[in-house]
Structure 1
């Protein structure tokens, strides 16, 4: 049985080009396409494809919001010209992420991942797993850009996350990575048993906290295993005491 696929992209040339490239995969049948977010939601709901190629930025609704409005989310491969959306794509449980412009070789690699994720013959179990990811459960890894590649960083390895305006700096040992999302948004996807917001600009990995100590002015700081210190707000200090009980 063929995998039923759907293409959502506001660019007619991009839609036609992707549909043409998908003809190379005899196990895939493209059942429709859409040029904007609301139309994509309606069509995906009606057609129930197993696989959707979804542009992140479309008129009327972001691609990520399209997925949130579909009751039974399909497998999804995000497509976009903007690399900063990669982190969000993978957080939402995307099978892969295609950075435009992409060709048959890159698409073939994505389709290998799709087939491995869907499995044969029944994708229902995997659909449930993806539904769980979309439901907002804790993430176990982040994808960060290193040179021209997207590299997976296990979340448990991160010592702290630091807000920098609308971005987040990931402290991973001696490495520093920049995520293109707000700290408040990232915090909702972190395991609260492991990570704690100790300050408006800092989320720390509790497994890497050596101690909470007062600084010279009497304000509380978190001392981490790598030797760094971050401020702890008074409001957070009381919450942290509860975590230690």
Structure 2
């Protein structure tokens, strides 16, 4: 069994001990050390291979978030803090999870489950997005090359499904991730996007023109599926027929 080499960084000994104790329930987790400040952690990470970092945010000398920014290739991050207001910033830094102190064992185990999903290429994106949906309605988090990428939903031109993958197309870039389009549909802001085909979702404010067989989006013809024609006609055609 491959161990997940884990470092705990916290200036509170009691909080550090709780994480260490919880970790004894997880055979895959190997605690290779602890640090009581971010500067010490930075030095440790330079000389030891770390897979997972349990990281407090509000610490003396250097914030945990600033530590992550200073790392060229940060490991997986689980933030641990008593301050909920850092949650958005934490996920902006592609954290796997964000645990509020005091940390219940059940919540700790959920975070480890996300780590396992992430390592096995599963739906870390969906799990993380659900955590912050209430604070960031206009952002979609996508798992791209083992990282969580934040995409502003206002920049999306359309979303296309190809087998088990989706492509999120923006003017600047196209993001590809392994995720079902039905999952993505649930994560988008309600009332701003529409499924028009089994393989396509479009933002309503990007639609430039309507034809019974397609919508015009940023100069591109996006096909309308047979089962979606009536809904599209009612939405985009004043007559409501196709």
Q: TM-score, normalised by structure 2?
A: 0.53
Structure 1 residues not aligned, in runs of 5+: 121-125, 127-139, 160-190, 195-206, 211-245
The equivalent residue for 2:82 is 81
The equivalent residue for 2:132 is 143
1:74/1:100 CA distance change after superposition, 3 Å: same
Q: Distance in 2 between matches of 1:151 and 1:157?
A: 9
Shift of 1:44: 1.7
Q: Distance in 1 between matches of 2:134 and 2:74?
A: 27
Asked if structure 1 preserves the Cα contact closer than 8 Å seen for 2:138 and 2:152, the reply is: no
- 1:68-217 paired onto structure 2 within 5 Å: 68-119=69-120, 143-145=132-134, 153-154=139-140, 156-158=152-154, 193=172, 208=205
Shift of 1:145: 3.9
Aligned to 2:15, what secondary structure does the other structure show?
helix
1:152/1:19 CA distance change after superposition, 3 Å: farther
Which whole-Å deviations, capped at 9, do the CAs of 1:122-161 have from their partners, x for residues lacking one?
xxxx9xxxxxxxxxxxxx9993546xxx8784355459xx
Q: Distance in 2 between matches of 1:12 and 1:152?
A: 38
1:109/1:59 CA distance change after superposition, 3 Å: same
- 1:9-28 paired onto structure 2 within 5 Å: 9-28=10-29
Number of aligned residue pairs: 148
Structure 2 residues not aligned, in runs of 5+: 141-150, 156-169, 174-203, 208-242
Q: Distance in 2 between matches of 1:9 and 1:3?
A: 19
- 1:19-38 paired onto structure 2 within 5 Å: 19-38=20-39
Q: Distance in 2 between matches of 1:60 and 1:86?
A: 21
Shift of 1:99: 0.8
Q: Distance in 1 between matches of 2:20 and 2:8?
A: 8
The equivalent residue for 1:55 is 56
| Large movers: runs of 4+ above 3 Å | 150-159, 191-194, 207-210
Shift of 1:29: 0.3
CA-based RMSD of the aligned residues comes to 3.3
Shift of 1:208: 4.4
Asked if structure 2 preserves the Cα contact closer than 8 Å seen for 1:79 and 1:100, the reply is: yes
Aligned to 2:21, what secondary structure does the other structure show?
helix
